[in-house]
Amino acid sequence: HFDCVSSRRALSTTPSGATVQVLIHQRYSWRRDYWSSMCTTTTITNQQIIGSNTGNLDCNVGSCSSFITLSADVICTDYSTLTDCSSGEVYNTLSLPLGGTFIVGFYGGNWLALAIGGNGAWQVTGKIDLTVRSDGLINTSPVTTTLPVIYRTVGVQHVQIIPMSDADSTDTLRCRWSTDNTPSNANGYDECASVCAPSLPAGYTLSPDNCTLVFRISSVGGYYAVALQIEDFYTSTSPTPMSSVPVQFMFYGIAVPSGCSTPPSIIGVRPNLGAASGNSFCHAESAPITSSTFWVFDIWNPALSSTTTTTTTPPTSHTVTSRARRRLWPT
Confidence of residue 10 (pLDDT cuts 50, 70, 90): confident
Distance CA 155, CA 98 (A): 50
What whole-number percentage of the chain has pLDDT above 70? Answer: 79
Q: Would 316 be classed as within a structural domain?
A: no
Q: Would 216 be classed as within a structural domain?
A: yes
Q: What is the pTM for the complete model shown?
A: 0.78
Confidence of residue 224 (pLDDT cuts 50, 70, 90): very high
Q: Would 171 be classed as within a structural domain?
A: yes
Q: Would 191 be classed as within a structural domain?
A: yes
Report the domain count for the chain: 1
Summarised one tens digit per residue, pLDDT across range 228-259 is 999 999 999 999 999 999 999 999 999 988 87
The domain containing residue 100 runs over which residues?
3-254
- Look at residues 96, 92, 93 and name the one whose alpha carbon lies nearest to residue 19: 96
Which has more confidence, 254 or 314?
254
Question: How confident is the model over 284-313, as a mean pLDDT?
Answer: 47
What whole-number percentage of the chain has pLDDT above 90? Answer: 59
Q: Is the pLDDT of residue 267 over 90?
A: no
CA angle (85 as vertex; 127, 329 as ends), nearest 5: 40
Beta-carbon contacts of 127 under 8 Å, excluding residues fewer than 6 positions away, are 101, 102, 103, 104, 186, 187, 241, 243, 244
Q: Would 110 be classed as within a structural domain?
A: yes
| Cα end-to-end span (Å), the chain | 25
Question: How confident is the model over 44-64, as a mean pLDDT?
Answer: 92
Q: Is the pLDDT of residue 324 over 70?
A: no
Q: Which of 177-186, 229-238, 283-292, 293-302 has the lowest mean pLDDT?
A: 283-292
**304: helix, coil or strand?**
helix
Instruction: List C-alpha distances in Å: 122 to 95, 111, 115, 119, 245.
Output: 28, 6, 16, 9, 15
Q: Give the pLDDT confidence score for residue 303 in this predicted structure.
A: 54
Which secondary structure element, helix H or strand E, spans residue 45, and what is its range?
helix 41-45
Burial 299-314 (b: 16+ CB within 10 A, else e): eeeeeeeeeeeeeeee
Q: Give the pLDDT confidence score for residue 202 in this predicted structure.
A: 93
Q: Give the pLDDT confidence score for residue 284 in this predicted structure.
A: 36
Output the domain CATH number for residue 201. 2.60.40.10
Q: Would 105 be classed as within a structural domain?
A: yes
